[in-house]
Every structure is written in C-alpha cells, then in structure tokens.
Amino acid sequence: MSMNRILYVLVSALFAVPAVNATHIIGGELYYDHLGGGLYNVTLKLYRNCDATVAFDAQAAIGVFDGVNYSLLQVQQLSFPGATTVPVVLESPCLTLPPNVCIETTSYTGTFTLPLSENGYILTYQRCCRTGIIENLISPGDLGITVTTRIPGSSVPVNSSPRFNQLPPVALCLNLPLSFDHSASDPDGDSLVYSLANPLNGATAGAPQPNPPAPPPYDPVPWDAGYDENYQIDSDPAIAIDPVTGLLTLTPTLQGVFNVGVRVQEFRNGELLTETRRDFLFKVVACDATVVSAIQEQTEFCQGLSVQFVNNSVGATEFQWDFGDPNSDLDTSTEQNPVWSYSGPGTYAVTLIANPGTTCADTIVVNYDLYLAPSPVIIPPPPFCGNDPVTLVAEGDFNAGASILWQLGSGSVPQSSTDSIVTVQFPGPGTHEVTVIVAQNGCTGFYTDNVVNYGLPEASFIADPLPPQQIGTSVVFTDTSSPNGGVITNWNWAMQGSVFAPSDPIANWNGGWPGNYEVVLTITTADGCSDQASMMYEVLGGPIVIPNVFSPNGDGTNEFFEISNVQYYPNELTIYSRWGNKVYETLNYKNTWRGEGVPDGTYYYVLSLSDDREYSGHLTILR
C-alpha cells in the first residue's frame, strides 16, 4: 500500500471516532538512556490525534519500583514539553484528505537518580481510558494503558533500553497487505528480538491518572472471544512480526478498531536484560483508489527458481515489473503476468508499478522468498555385532535451524526424534531402515538408509569330568555356545593364555601340574562377532608326606629319600648338614636322592613348592 493511502486512512480512522469516545493516547512507549553512574534519562513517548477531547497531560507520573519485590521507591512527575505535529506529505494528487488532519506526538523526559541495585528497577506510567469501540477487547471503554520498562540489576551496571524507530500506521485498508518496519534501535548494540505481546491494562475511569501508578505485576487486557496475544486482529494471513528484523505483516479482513501490542526484548550474551512494549491501535476501513498495484501472495517456496507472477492490480492497463535480481540487468518486464528465473535462492524485493508514468500510478514492493529443498544425508555405522545403542547424525545441505524428524522403526527406542543427533537401540539384530526428514523454510527433504547389526553369540562350554580331578586325568571340553542367529566358524581354546587345542567344538586335555587352570573359549561367527566364556579347572596332586629317616644300604628297602606326591608339584629341594653346609640341591625333585657322598647322620631339608607352600625339618641317614 502506498504511504499516501495509509495516511489518508489513518486520518479518516481517527476522525471517524465520536468526540465523546476520543482516546487520550493512541500509542506509547517508555525507554531510558544510561548517563553514567546512577543517572538515567527517561523518555515517555506518546501519540494522540489532535481532535481528541482530552489533551496531553500537563504532568506524567512515572513510578519507580523495586525490580523484585515491587515496592514503590519514588515517583517523578515529568512536565509536558509541548506537542509536535506529525507531518503529512502527499505524494500523489490521486489521494485527498479530510480537513483538519492532525496527529501529534510528545516526549516527556526527565533525569532519574537510580543507584546500582541488585534487584534493578521497574518504571511505569499508567493512563485511562481507551476508546469504547475497540473490537477485540471486552469492555474497552473501562480499560486503561500501562507503559513499563525494566532497568536490570547491578550484574548489568551499564545499559540503555531499546526504542522503536517509527510509529506504525493507525489505519489499514481492508484486504490490502501491510508490511511495516517495526524495528527498534539499541544504543548498546545488544541483540533485539521482536514478538507480538499482550497490551497491558492500567488505571481506571475513577482514577485515570494514578499517582503513583500501581505496582507490578500488570494484567493483560481481556481479549474478546476469538482473539489472543498471537491473533490480535482479523487477518489472513495472521498478523506476524519477524523476530529478527521486526517486520510487521498482516492483511486485515474485518473493518473496525483493534488494539495491538508489540514488544522488543534486549539480550546481551544470551541474557534477557529488558523489554520495550508498544501499545497502539489499528483502524481497518474500506479504501478506494483509482489505481491499486497488487501482486498475488506467494504460496510456493520450494518449486525451483522460476516464478510465475500473478498480477492482481486494479484499474491499470500498463505495468512495469522489476524482479529485484541483483545478478541480472534484464530482470524487468512489461507483461501483465510475467515469468522470471532467478540465479539462486534468496529473498528478492519484487516491484510492480501499475500505470507507470501516469499521475495516479501506484507501486507495490513484495518480498519473494525462494528456497531449495534441504538435502539431508545419513552416514550409518558399518555393520556391527550386538545390540548396543548407536548414534546417528543428520548431515547435508540444510541450516542449523531446520526442523528434523527421525523415523527409526517400530520397536526401536526411541521410534522417532527431532534432534539432529539421535542415539537409538534397535529391537534386535537385522537390517533396520532409518529415515531422516528435514523441513526448512517450508521445504522438505528426506534420506533413507539401513543400519545392519548381527546377533552377538553367547559363549559357553562344559567339562567332562567336572573339576576337581587328580593329576593325569583326561578331560574333554565341549562347546555349548548359542550363536544367536549366526554361524560359529572358529573356536579358540586357551589354557592360562596359551592355545592348547585346534579350532573345534571339542578340546581334549590331559591335565598338568596340580593347581587351578583358567580355560577360556573364544567363539567367532561368520559375521565376525565374538564372545568368550571361561572356567577354572582344579588339578589335584595329593598330600605332601616327608619321612625323617631313610637307609640307603642296598637292601632294596627305604633306599631313597621319598617324599609322597612331590613329583606332582614344581618344587625346589635343598639339604644342609648340621653345620649349615649345603650338601644337595635340585629343582623338581622326583625322589631320586640316596645320600650320595655324605656320611650317616642328621641333616636338615627345605622343600619349596610352586604354590608357595614350604616344608622344613630334619632327616637321618642310617646305612
């Protein structure tokens, strides 16, 4: 819509309201500038139409409250500095305005001394009452307005709040789209986020100028049926504000007066510092224009880069298009419904002039958003053994803010997810189809792949006979493993860490020295999946019995120093004379000493076994 038409409708809307219901304020905001130390310059900016029966107040009471417990700390009266008329400039002789058109603005300002406070401060101004003909509120004539802002606590010692750059049009044309830059500026360069907001109620008809204002918290205005914070005015598409740019868009579909609220929130390093909330009116009226330039609203965003434009202009016979493609000097057309192919995705400002070069030409600029469908991809893990959870990552050509949906199959945990990285456990071994769907800018792309896992075998075996057994016993170990869907192709039998049998389901063993032996079976399937089982097998060697006399005299009886069962144990034997001289020493003694080279007499022995047992005593040789 051209600015001339907006101003015309604005004025018509303001002066269509009966004087008895004339609203005092049609919009306002409260913001501040930090001057250093505890000094703040506070600005209360208000708008009214000049024909309202209630003028700007001579004094505006600003209440200062504690930012946490809301106790009143001070009230400061700001004096009316005088009003300034908002200039109305007509750019086309095709539009006319009624007489006495006038919109005024004023800015109450004052310096506040507010020392650093851990809790911060809340500043508030209130005024009653609103006009009684507002469509989207319950009993609007009994409702007032609250304009408030917050100064953060001492953790943020320096901050100035954001402020809106310009006043939106009060009047809108029925069924004609509005695209208004409702952005704000912040002196500190903090990040700003925009959103629709509930207007706040405040003051009453009995006390229209409360001094002091009421403390927080403040109640939102009561919406009539069918309206709420996110749907404040009849519009198709619904009223919306871009959270990043502050671009306010709507296409009103019902005539009337509507209360609207917008807020800008200020963030620093991810922390919300304060917000500035604007409360204002829209008057929707039927507009007449000799020539109206209009482009059919974009409905397809992912159908490639070639666009068929549909001209919905009224009262025109000639047209001039500029498709806003910065990569071409030929992006113009005089056709009624042209086609243009863009060089790449992006947002393009498309301009249409209806009846160009004539007195009543009309111009419209519409943004067209062209996107390529996202192209996700999954890199599945290589086939693996077992059923441990696996992590899948959605990669590919899409932005970080895209919406993601995983479909992971029935029985999986989880069966779906909206995260870019998901950890999933499948119901069992097999081939599992997984799909990731990515939506971005209204465009959708998907990718499907398989994750393969094999059953993990469970190793087990038995021994025959069961331990413990005497030394020299032949033992058969038999595999009893469960392949869990696979085929076992390799058996590794290890005793004390060394392989003792070939790869076979059965292993034979003839025992060893007395002691405890760890038998380990490792099985491997054709899929490369392995498992182990182990068993401790005890071999017995009998008790050690040591004589204290022997007679190596050649009669064939008691000829050797015979220690019962010593041959079954790794051992070390040392024999000493009674003077401590070593007369015999050997490893792994096997009852073969006859006392060679020593005379009869008493000797001492020390026998050490590999299991850390040690025996000592005396023995006598008698020939």
The per-residue pLDDT for range 541-570, each reduced to its tens digit, is 888 999 999 999 999 999 999 999 898 888
What is the pLDDT at residue 89? 43
Beta bridge partners of 419: none
Sign of the dihedral defined by the CA atoms of residues 211, 217, 222, 227, in that order: positive
Beta bridge partners of 432: 451
What is the pLDDT at residue 98? 42
Given a contact cutoff of 8 angstroms between Cβ atoms, the answer to whether 583 and 603 are in contact is yes
- What phi and psi, each to the nearest 5 degrees, are found at residue 405? -135, 120
Closest CA to 323 of 313, 333, 335: 333
What is the pLDDT at residue 298? 85
- What phi and psi, each to the nearest 5 degrees, are found at residue 244? -100, -45
Residue in the block written with tokens 């057309």: 333
What is the pLDDT at residue 289? 63
Given a contact cutoff of 8 angstroms between Cβ atoms, the answer to whether 67 and 122 are in contact is yes
Given a contact cutoff of 8 angstroms between Cβ atoms, the answer to whether 170 and 178 are in contact is no
Tell me the pLDDT of the chain averaged across its residues.
Answer: 89
Instruction: Kindly give the parts of the chain with pLDDT less than 50.
Output: 1-23, 89-93, 95-99, 101
Separation of CA 285 from chain center: 43
Classified as helix, coil or strand, 102 is coil
Given a contact cutoff of 8 angstroms between Cβ atoms, the answer to whether 259 and 281 are in contact is yes
Which residues, including other chains, have CB under 8 Å from residue 554's CB and lie 6 or more apart? none
What is the pLDDT at residue 358? 78
Beta bridge partners of 284: 172, 256
**Edge to edge, what strands does the sheet with 461-464 contain?**
461-464, 475-479, 506-509
What is the pLDDT at residue 24? 65
What is the pLDDT at residue 47? 80
What is the pLDDT at residue 92? 40
- Say if strands 549-550 and 614-621 run parallel, antiparallel, or are unpaired: parallel
Sign of the dihedral defined by the CA atoms of residues 98, 133, 183, 29, in that order: positive
Determine which helix (DSSP H) or strand (DSSP E) holds 470, and give its type and residue range.
Answer: strand 469-470
Given a contact cutoff of 8 angstroms between Cβ atoms, the answer to whether 420 and 440 are in contact is no
What is the pLDDT at residue 249? 96
Given a contact cutoff of 8 angstroms between Cβ atoms, the answer to whether 34 and 114 are in contact is no
User: Within 10 Å of residue 166's Cβ, how many Cβ atoms?
Assistant: 10
Beta bridge partners of 437: 405, 446
The end-to-end CA distance of the chain, in Å, is 134
Closest CA to 385 of 456, 319, 441: 456
Which residues, including other chains, have CB under 8 Å from residue 97's CB and lie 6 or more apart? 7, 8, 11, 88, 90
Structure tokens, 412: 């999986």
Given a contact cutoff of 8 angstroms between Cβ atoms, the answer to whether 565 and 543 are in contact is yes
What is the pLDDT at residue 207? 92
Structure tokens, 517: 């032996």
Rounded to whole angstroms, the Cα distance separating 354 from 313 reads 7
Closest CA to 152 of 141, 140, 161: 161
